A and B are shown apart, each in its own frame.
Chain A
Amino acid sequence: MAKGQIVAGCLAPHPPHLVYAENPPQNEPVAEGGWEQLRWGYERLRASLADIDYDAIVLLSPHWQTYVGTHFLGLDHFEGLSVDPIFPNLFRYHYNMNVDVELAKAIHDEAEAAGLPVKMMENPDFRVDYGTITTGHLFNPDWDKPLVVISSNRSTAYYSVEVMQEIMIELGKVTRKAIEASGKRVVVLASNSLSHRHFTTESEVPEDMSKEHITSHAMHLWDMRIIDYMRSGQAQRILDEMPEFTEQAIAESDGGGLSWLLSTLDVPDYPAILHGYGTIIGTGNAVVEWPCHAHEVSEA
């Protein structure tokens, strides 16, 4: 069997506003557009990977929050209605998705062997979190690739960013190991924003872009600093500064997704491609691709 390969790694944030603004048939609310810079960013990301063949998407969502270990969706198929509990006015999405249970179980088993607390989620009534659905839709609106969905262990809240990162770096290593052992070509997605301080009010027309901006200059500076590291191939510096970034930018990296992604990509030293940056109710969001396929040699 050929060695599996990560063909791309992406920072793929999940604000439901982006799906709302696009008006896909699966989503009930109707918008007049909005957040185009980020939606065009997703378009560029999809175009960038259009000619790259892959078998599965591995996604870590900060909105499947688990406090007892890291969990993996463990059934072949999920469908239902996802209603965002925070922005139900924007996101009521009818989803229908397939899971690569084999790959999920492989990552689960590698993590367990490494000493991480893990569990497969096999309750058919489980409602998939809206972060997974949003990123899943924006990255692959056809839903024609199976997903591996990994929960966000909230070790930042329990311990510290440092402990979270230690766990996520280990989880990233075993994710990579399991993918390589699987023989599959995989895209890995971290579904999180950068700076994450929200507005606490919503304009009458949520997609009124005249009201959209970053919550503070400090948040902007942090977002640009992290993006510069991404674009200049300095992933290690992102990991090094993760505690300060997460604390000072109230960043959604607290969920571990970005640390896990960079570890899964073996802490890339090649430049990432910034496809788009924009704010959503004040939070900073970037669509970023690490084109692994162009930098890593397959042993096939």
Chain B
Amino acid sequence: MSSGEVVASFVVPVHPHTVLAPGQNPGWQRLRDALDEAAQTIQDLEADLIIVYSTTWPSIIGHQIQADPNPEWVMVDHDFHDLGSIPYSFNIDAEFAHAWDEANRQRGLQSRCVNYKGFPIDVGSVVALTLLNPDNAIPAVIVSSNMYANRSETTVLAKSCLDVIKAQGRRAVAITAMSLSNRMFTDFISPDEDKIHSLKDDEWNRKILEFLEQGRLEDVGQLSRTIQQQIRVQKVVAFKPMWWLSAMNGNRNDLTGRVMAYEAIHGAGGAVVHLDPTSSGVGDKEYDEDDVEYYHGERDVLDTVEEEEVENPPTADAPNESSNGPDLWEPTEAKGSVNTTAAPKPVGAYPHARRVGDMLFLSGVGPRQPGTNAIPGGPIHDENGDPLPYDIKAQTHAVVDNVKRIVEEAGASMDQVVDVTTFLVDMKRDFQGYNEVWAETLGKVGPTRTTLAIDALPTPIAVEMKVIVHMPE
């Protein structure tokens, strides 16, 4: 596995003034100077990929990723068209874009690449790439901001991006093209009249920047909903870019932050902020929101089982950690009981196994992972009981692994397993996949087997095994 990483992150403003008219206002010029310095920093870091999450590219059908290797056009802003035009010709890493798209699907996101001549690249992306990558030396990728996306969807979007960065061994720079407060003056003003729209917006902006200066990115992420209510025009349902950027940085609060510039652009808060992944040692996060690895939100509105989801459900490498099941118990202790931290905790008062003479009887074993309680292959339904796609093979493999850990804890081995009763919640759907894994594992040992279909199991899993082992002295 290669060791890719995010070598730097930047917050940059979206309006075209920094490209087209920096000289008309000293604040716009300071933003421009900071963007030029950021471009030099990116070059000095020897980054080989720039990733732009743009708040001015809204999408509806999941997230869209630009995959035209060389998009070219002339961008004119819808509001500030009198400032002029920005011709662009960008160097897009289409291979990365497609890999990210696929990684998104693997993690349950709706996603697609766009590669169409004349596609209108949004103002935020055009400004960011024009100034941060002026000679197109570094390949870039742009992702949209889904207008309906929530925190979990946006977080998973970042994690799938990290999957690809790591897999490809890239030195990536993460960019959020965004305003802080985004309330502009609703009337026309001369450049020398520009200022932050209100004292309240300015105070909130400065608080956000104080956090970022301290490297407390995850704290800003967790304030996103409050920020949206306080200083954001309600154009979209949430203030998402900090969710994405925080997840791109491992949801940390100990980055090394530097506010390079903060100025008004027609009343909105524009800032250039550099977030260095080097730990500042300031403090660890106080993480009060659930982390999420796999998205299983409202993405089946059309009532169609997405083929991609069935074909590419979460794998054992990217398990879902939201078990949405009953409370967990410590395994009980009694004469002959066998318990291990290497197996998932019980959902009731019972041991993992119990030895009687030379026989070992295991309690029902499912695929949940010890420690995280994650379910490889994904849970079969969500908290509301709505069905989710899952991978029966991944679940069955995980069951066998858990059985092996308990058996070995007892001092026995898998070739001493003599009888197995398997419970499936969907015999028609899952028998074949389960049977294939059986053949590759326990089938080679040769225990007797009984497979039953049942209505449900206590946790959102599809398979459980009841195992008997003969372990003579």
Contact = CB atoms under 8 A, between A and B. Distances in A.
B250 interface: no
A37 B122 CA distance: 33
A67 B266 CA distance: 10
A123 B84 contact: yes
A89 B199 CA distance: 44
Contact of A155 (B61, B74, B85, B186): B186
A201 B62 contact: yes
Given A119-B82, A127-B76, A127-B120, A199 B188 contact: no
A155 B235 CA distance: 10
A123 B85 CA distance: 8
A18 B187 CA distance: 35
Contacts of A83: 116, 118-120
A203 B76 CA distance: 33
Instruction: Kindly name the residue among A80, A87, A123, A155 whose own CB sees the greatest number of chain B CB atoms within 10 A.
Output: A123
B79 A125 contact: no
Contacts of B2: none
B118 A69 contact: no
A266 interface: no
Contacts of B59: 85-86
B188 A200 contact: no
Contacts of A92: 116-118
B110 A201 contact: yes
Given A126-B81, A211-B303, A198 B185 contact: no
Contact of A201 (B61, B120, B185, B186): B61
B119 A88 contact: yes
B299 interface: yes
B373 to A, nearest CB: 29
B353 to A, nearest CB: 45
Contact of A69 (B85, B187, B301): B187
B193 interface: no
Nearest to A202: B61
B57 interface: yes
A135 interface: no
A43 B366 CA distance: 60
A64 interface: yes
A151 B80 CA distance: 13
Interface residues of A, number: 42
A68 B299 CA distance: 35
A282 interface: yes
Interface in A39-91: 64-69, 71, 80-81, 83, 85-89
Contacts of A66: 78-79
Contacts of A68: 79-80, 184-188, 266
Given A86-B60, A158-B183, A201-B302, A67 B234 contact: no
A200 B144 CA distance: 14
B321 to A, nearest CB: 24
A182 interface: no
Interface string B272-313: 000000000000000000000000001111111011000000
B148 interface: yes
B235 A154 contact: yes
B302 A199 contact: yes
A221 interface: no
Contact of B186 (A81, A117, A200, A281): A117
5 contacts: A69-B187, A123-B82, A127-B76, A155-B186, A200-B299
Interface of B: 57-62, 73-74, 76, 78-82, 84-85, 110, 114, 116-120, 122, 146, 148, 183-188, 233-235, 266, 298-304, 306-307
Interface of A: 64-69, 71, 80-81, 83, 85-89, 92, 117, 119, 121-123, 125-127, 129, 151, 153-155, 157-158, 198-204, 211, 215, 281-282
Given A86-B60, A282-B301, 20 more contacts: A68-B79, A68-B187, A68-B266, A69-B187, A71-B81, A83-B116, A85-B119, A86-B59, A92-B116, A119-B82, A123-B84, A127-B76, A151-B78, A155-B186, A200-B60, A200-B61, A201-B301, A201-B306, A202-B61, A204-B304
